[in-house]
Amino acid sequence: MITYFDILPSTNLYLKEMAENYDNLDAIVAHHQTEGRGRMDRTWVDEDDLLMSILVKDDVKDPEKLSLLICATIFKTLNKYLNGLKVKWPNDILCNNKKICGILLEGKSDGEKNIIVVGFGVNVNSTNFTGELKQKATSMKLELNKDFDINKLSKEIYQEFINDYNHFINGDEDYLKICKDNSCLIGKIVNIYYNDIIKEAKVIDILDNGHILLEIDGERLEKSSGEVTLHMNY
């Protein structure tokens, strides 16, 4: 079930605070956020976009895999409309080398069990990107020069996620293949923080556990999360 709101401070924050009032895999959508956040506490600037969070109450063994699962879900949905899509591990979708979707997973313990909120924002009808964002971000409208129905898109993504999630909990790893096959990182040189400094690394693979495999100074390193920057706009 999806619940729609005109405005919220943050869909993730609201769903974490109100989790007891929602069932497993329920979702909320806000047409506008006043305190939207991305990773590293960056501000999420929304104009006319899809802002959605899904509540996962199941005991997920490898919660970091959910980031790649929702990446695959959104990739498949947007791929019906857009060309030039790529997955940027661990939580972004790019379109023609510009960010079109960002994902933020947050957890909370209610004393008895843990919950996970799978939040994401898709740039749908935004056009007013300024400064650095103009070089780093795009939207469905900018790519195709037409408006999109956000509520319709939210339902498409939600139904795709429910289907993908049911396969995921039964051990299906198609989501991992989608993220690997459409990765913008595998085989590329990236910048990453390593021992408190920025180092160049080559991305070798995305592993079955959802981690990334890097080669730094001739040695291989596995990371479960982190900021990875390509030698390009984003």
Are 113 and 64 part of one and the same domain?
Answer: yes
Locate 144 and state its tokens. 């195709």
Q: CATH number for the domain including 94?
A: 3.30.930.10
Q: Specify the DSSP element, H or E, that contains 67.
A: helix 65-78
* pLDDT over 50 at 34, yes or no: yes
User: In sequence order, what DSSP letters do the residues of 150-200 get, joined into one string?
Assistant: HHHHHHHHHHHHHHHHHHHHTT--HHHHHHHHTBSSTT-EEEEEETTEEEE
Q: What is the pLDDT of residue 37?
A: 53
Q: Is 65 found in the same domain as 157?
A: yes
Rounded CA-CA distance 225/210 in Å is: 9
- In the predicted model, is pLDDT for residue 42 greater than 60? no
pLDDT at 36: 54
In 6-141, beta strands by DSSP E: 27-30, 50-56, 85-88, 92-95, 98-109, 114-122
What is this structure's pTM?
A: 0.88
Q: 159-189 pLDDT, tens per residue?
A: 999 999 999 999 889 999 999 999 999 999 9
Q: How many domains does the chain have?
A: 2
Indicate whether 107 and 169 sit together in one domain: yes
Kindly state the average pLDDT of the residues 200-216. 90
Model confidence at 120: pLDDT above 90: yes
Is residue 169 located within the same domain as residue 216?
no
Share of the chain above pLDDT 70, in %: 90
- Domain range for 147 is 2-181
Q: Are residues 34 and 99 in the same domain?
A: yes
Confidence band (pLDDT; 50, 70, 90) for 118?
very high
As beta bridge partners, residue 9 has none
